[in-house]
Amino acid sequence: MTRIENNVQYEWAIRRVEELLPFVDDNTPLDDPNSIELELLSNLVADYSEEHFSLGEPSLVDVLKLRMFEMGLNQKTLSKMIGVSPSRLSDYFTGKCEPTLKVAREISKKLNIDAHIVLGV
């Protein structure tokens, strides 16, 4: 098997990986058949999982909403915190516009959100 093609194969591979785990540890030689099979199947499972179950990168709006919830903020308070009007903040949430570099810097610093997420890179 060079690639997992469907969910049935994926489920089988997961079961087989679980069966092999007790037989392989850090001291198992790399040329041991169980070790080889475990590594190959683990890689296939990881590839299939990434292709079919990947969550992707969070959007700025998703991260802002989560951070607002965590910090107990509403949109009015957040807009004051980052120095924009409530209507401008609403535009960010609806996708009508994106934050300027200055506002993005404030969001990143004051809300402790990674700059890569804020800038969309």
Separation of CA 115 from chain center: 15
* pTM reported for the whole predicted model: 0.55
Average pLDDT by stretches of 10, the chain with 121 residues: 92 96 93 95 94 82 93 94 94 90 92 85 61
Q: What is the pLDDT of residue 54?
A: 80
Dist CA 76 CA 45 (whole Å): 45
Instruction: Catalogue all structural domains in the chain, each as residue range(s) with its CATH number.
Output: 7-53 (no CATH), 60-119 (1.10.260.40)
Separation of CA 44 from chain center: 20
Residue 103: CB atoms within 10 Å? 17
Structure tokens at 75: 């949109």
Q: What is the pLDDT of residue 121?
A: 61
Angle in degrees, CA 2, 30, 9, rounded to 5? 25
